[in-house]
Amino acid sequence: MEELLEILEELHPEVDFNTNKSLIDDKILDSFDIITLIADINDAYDVAIPAHEIIPENFNSAEALYGLIERLLDED
């Protein structure tokens, strides 16, 4: 989780990713951010996030995103 928070903070230093639960709904993360994020996650966790997992529920909070990474790692 620490590593994910670092990646997110690098992308948007002004956002508190520990508390924000509406990163997509509030348009904090746009499609450009999401692609950058997925590339960074791929490097850090060696997990590929497929296109169909790019839905608001998975990207609205750091917690949800970490849940997705764990699920994908588990499926792998």
CB of 12 to another protein, least distance (A): 12
Question: End-to-end CA distance of the chain, in Å?
Answer: 19
Q: Which of 1, 39, 44, 73 binds another protein (CB under 8 A)?
A: 39
Q: Coil, helix or strand for 4? A: helix
If you count them, how many residues does the chain have? 76
Q: Which of 35, 44, 56, 57 binds another protein (CB under 8 A)?
A: 35
HSE toward the beta carbon, residue 63, CA cutoff 13 A: 6
Q: Which of 18, 48, 56, 67 binds another protein (CB under 8 A)?
A: 48
Binding span for another protein by CB under 8 A among 1-9, 18-26, 47-55, 57-65: 47-55
